[in-house]
Amino acid sequence: MRRSSGKSIYKGVAIGKVRILKKATADTSKREITDVEAEIERYQNARDTAVQQLQDVFKKACKNIGEESAAIFDVQSMLLADDDYNDAVYEKIRNEKVNAENAVQRAGEEISRIFSEMDDEYMRARSADILDVSKRVIDVLSGVSTKALEADEPSILMADDLTPAETVQLDKSKILAFVTKYGSAQSHTAILARTMNIPAMTGIIIDPEWDGKQAVVDSFTGELIIEPDEETLVHSMAKLQEVQARIELLQKLKGQETVTLDGRKINLYANIGSVEDAYLALENDAEGVGLFRSEFLYLGRSTYPTEEEQFVAYKNVARKMGGKKVIIRTLDIGADKQADYFNLDKEENPAMGFRAIRICLERPELFKTQLRAIYRASAFGNIAIMYPMIISVDEVRKIKQISADVRSALNRENIAYGAVEEGIMVETPAAVLMSEELAKEVDFFSIGTNDLTQYTLAIDRQNAKLDNFYNPHHPAVLKAIQITIENAHKHDCWVGICGELGADLDLTETFINMGIDELSVSPSRILAVRDKVRSTRAKGIR
C-alpha cells in the first residue's frame, strides 16, 4: 500500500483501477526542406484542421458543460489566427528551411515563454493555451491519433497534465476521478472537472507502475492510496457509500423552502451560462437564476448577435423558469473572454482594461441592442438586469440614462416590457468602498467573489505558484462583503453572492449572519446549500 498527498480540485471519493493516460508523441525533430511554399501550405492546412477540431470540441463542450466553461476552446481557436503566432511559424520555415512540425514547436515554446513572463494574469494563462494549440497542430501534421483518449472502462484517470480539450472529450461515464501532476485548482481543467462533477486532485507525482492497479482517491482529504489494504478499502467503501447516500438524501430537499431554523428566508438561485443550463437549474430546484451569463451569445461566432437572437434566448429562459426571477448579466466580454469581431486592442493588462461595462458605455448602440432584447423578453417572465465591473456612481447614472432611453423608444413603438429591477455586480474594491452611495442608485447588489477576492488580495488565482497565498476566506475579503451588505441594507438594496464562495458551506452561516439575502451557485450545489441553510440558526438582525 502506498499513500500520496495532493491538492483537491473537486471533492469526492473514487475507488477503481488506475489508467495512466499515454499520449502519443509526434516527431518534431528538425528536418531540412526544399519547397518552402509547399511546407507553408502544409502548415496552413494543418492549422485549419486544428481550428475545425477546436470548433467541434467547443460545440460538444457547450452541450456537456455550458457555454462559459466551453469558451476556452473559442479562445484557443483565436490564438491560431493570431498574426504574431503565424508569422513566427512562417519565419522559421522560410528563413531556416525547416519542417513545419519543428517550426510550430519552437514558435509555440517561444511565444508561450513570453506570455508566461507577463504581469497580467490573462496573458499568463494563455501561455498554456499556446502550448496546447501548438501540440494540436503538430499532431495533425504528424497524423497522431487522439483515440488514446477513449477510456474502455470506469477508471481513475492519471496524467502529468490534461488539456481542457482532452478533459471534455473523455467519456464522463468511464471516469471515476482525475489525478494529475500539474495544474492549479483554478486552472481551466480544474473548472471543467468541477463542472463535470468528477472528483479530482492535482500535485501528485505519478508512477508508471501504478497503471492497472487498484486505488482510492479521497479528494476530501487530498489523499491517493495505491493498492489499499483490506482495512483501508473497507473504510473507503463506507465513505463512498456515505457520499452517495448524502447525494440521495439531498434529493429529498427538492420542493422544500430555503429557510433557516428560525424562519429566515434565503433566496437560493442558480448560475447559468446558456439557455440549456436553465433545465439544470430547474432539475436541481433552483428558486431562480441569480446569474445568467449573456456573453455566451457573443462567443464562438464572427458577428454580433442581433437583437432578435438575443430576445429569443432571454425569452426562452424566462419562460422555462416559469415566473421565477432571472437576473441577466449584461455583456462581459474582454479579459479572458475575447471575440475577434469586437476589434479590441491588445492590452498589457486586459483584466483591468477595456472590458465589460466599459465596452458597453463606449459603444452605446451595442449596449442598447442588448438592453432592448432584455426589456422585450421581460414581458414573458420575471427578468432583472445586472451590470458588471462597476466602479463609480457616474457609471451607474450613465447606464440608467441609456436604459431610460431604451424604454422610451420601446414605448414609442408600443412594444411591451415588464417591471425590471436593475442591479450591479460588486467585484472591485472601488465598488465596496462606494457601496453606500451605489445602493441609493440600484435595486440590488450581487457580489462577484471570484474577482473581488483576486482584486482585493492582488493575487492571480490562475497562477499555481500562488495557491498557498490565495485565500478566499481572507479577513479582508469577508470584511468587504460585510461592508457591502451593511451599506446596501441602509437603503433597501438587497444583496446576493454569485461567486464561488456562495457555494462554500464553511461560510454559509457567516453570510447568513452578515445578512445576505440571496445565494446564487452552480446548479449541482443548490441542494447542498439548501441543506446547510435549513440547519443554520440566523443571528443577524435583518
Q: How far apart are CA 162 and CA 123, in angstroms?
A: 20
In Å, how far are 164, 286, 339, 457, 503 from 321, measured between CA atoms?
A: 31, 9, 29, 37, 21
Parallel, antiparallel or unpaired: strands 518-521 and 267-272 = parallel
**Which residues are CB-contacts of 304 (< 8 A; sequence separation ≥ 6)?**
298, 341, 366, 369
Distance CA 180, CA 301 (A): 33
- Rg (alpha carbons) of the chain, rounded to whole number: 24
How many Å apart are CA 130 and CA 113, to the nearest integer? 10
Cα dihedral across residues 513, 429, 437, 520: positive or negative: negative
252, 310, 318, 265: which is closest to 289 by C-alpha? 318
Measured between alpha carbons, how far is 287 from 268 in angstroms, rounded to an integer? 6
Alpha carbon of 442 to those of 138, 308, 390, 483: distances in Å? 52, 27, 12, 17
Residue pair 74/340 in contact (Cβ under 8 Å)? The answer is no
Amino acid in position 39 = E
Residue 191 dihedral angles phi and psi, to the nearest 5°:
-65, -40
DSSP string, 264-329: -B-EEEEEESSSTHHHHHHHTT-SSEEEEEGGGGTSSSSSPPPHHHHHHHHHHHHHHTTTSEEEEE
For 535, which DSSP code?
Answer: T
At position 451, the amino acid (one-letter code) is D
How many helices and strands in the chain, by DSSP H and E?
Answer: 19, 16
Q: Residue 314: what residue type?
A: Y
498 is catalytic: yes
Which residues lie below 8 Å from residue 541, measured CB to CB, with a gap of 6+?
515
CA 11/CA 125 separation, integer angstroms: 24
Rounded Cα distance between 67 and 61, Å, is: 7
Q: Assess whether 360 carries a catalytic annotation.
A: no
Residue 424 phi, psi dihedral angles, 5° rounding: -130, 155
Of the residues 62, 360, 493, 498, only one is catalytic, namely: 498
Residues 518, 467 contacting (CB under 8 angstroms) = no
Q: Which of 62, 188, 489, 493 is catalytic?
A: 188
Q: Cα–Cα distance between 178 and 165 in angstroms, integer?
A: 14
Count of C-beta atoms within a 10 Å radius of residue 408: 10
- Catalytic positions are 188, 498
